[in-house]
Amino acid sequence: MEVTPAGESKVLLDQVPELSLSDFITGTPTQKNQFVEDLFRGLKHFGFIVLKDHPIDDDLLAHAYDLSQQLFALPLENKMKLISSAGAGQRGYTPFGKEHAKDSQFPDLKEFWHVGREWSSNSRYANDFPPNIWPEQIADFRSVFSKIFTELDGVGRIILRALTGPLELPENYFDGMVNEGNSILRLLHYPPIPEGADPNCIRAAAHEDINLITVLVSASASGLELKSRDGTWLPIETQANNLIVDSGDMLARITNDVIPSTTHRVVNPKGPNTSRYSMPFFMHPNPDAMLSCIPSCRGDGAKYPDILSEDFLRQRLREIGLMK
């Protein structure tokens, strides 16, 4: 048993907690309160939790993975035509080896595709971001991934709402902060490790996510690991179609590291050298949202100065090689 400075005891966790989202959505008051407690403790201790019993249809997720495989199986010359002219990798295709972890000189062994929010014509952000790119040669791509984006966005909002109690915030605190956020659904392909690859390169080098929270559909193969508080690497394994949620730098910043952003990576395969597919949803605040320390987390004072969400995002995109 660990005792916090305030004298509050808590059980040390030995694995990432797996929680039932239905306990929060439709459960009894006791189940809902237990979910909130376990969510907050899991994110504080690991920066990660696993969600089962979520509302996203398994068949929809399976179809999405099929379409993702079709996308990355396209000839490279076709994919290169689907890079956004706006740059910064915000929409469409980003080629293999383009992105690297912050402070790393070695490129990650992955290629990916971004689907972003589609703002209504009367939104104040309607003209601020490039339009989505849709590969016309893949049937259902637009409809399926538009729906996946909406569904994962909904789950993210539920998780943020569940955190308002422990953070001593109004229940709707995050709603207006993320309702038009520049969130990104990333379709990831980690191809077989190419012959002659630099031994310093791995599928995704150790990094922290930029955003508030990430909602990740369980990947097609193992490899995801988090760095625990004692510095050891802990594999994150769960059943297919469960969701993995982790806290990003923006949430760490506004909670004064009460909920820290946890370092994680995707290691190269130890068994057969096969492809790995993954679908993280990076939940961002509205571009003009101010990242300010939440009062209940202030303690002896805010560690970080206020900064606009979009300014922080651009700073980090430059650091990982997606923006000049």
Share of the chain above pLDDT 90, in %: 77
Across 113-122, average pLDDT: 91
Q: Quote the pLDDT of residue 103.
A: 82
CATH class, range 2-319: mainly beta
Phi, psi angle pair for 247, to nearest 5°? -90, 140
38/27 Cα distance (integer angstroms): 14
Write the pLDDT tens digit of every residue in 238-249: 988 899 999 999
Phi, psi angle pair for 76, to nearest 5°? -55, -40
Highest mean pLDDT among 103-112, 141-150, 221-230: 141-150
pLDDT for residue 274 is more than 70: yes
pLDDT for residue 323 is more than 90: no
pLDDT for residue 86 is more than 80: no
Mean pLDDT (the chain) is 91
Going by pLDDT thresholds of 50, 70 and 90, the confidence category of residue 8 is very low
Going by pLDDT thresholds of 50, 70 and 90, the confidence category of residue 88 is low
Tell me how many degrees the CA angle 201-81-219 measures, rounded to the nearest 5. Answer: 45
pLDDT for residue 44 is more than 50: yes
Across 168-180, average pLDDT: 95
Q: Quote the pLDDT of residue 13.
A: 63
Going by pLDDT thresholds of 50, 70 and 90, the confidence category of residue 119 is confident
Q: For residue 183, which of 124, 258, 132 has the smallest C-alpha distance?
A: 132
In the chain, the largest separation of any two C-alpha atoms, in whole Å, equals 61
Q: For residue 246, which of 104, 45, 109, 53 has the smallest C-alpha distance?
A: 45
Tell me how many degrees the CA angle 5-246-143 measures, rounded to the nearest 5. Answer: 155
Domain ranges of the chain: 2-319
**pTM of this structure:** 0.92
pLDDT for residue 34 is more than 70: yes
Q: Quote the pLDDT of residue 127.
A: 83
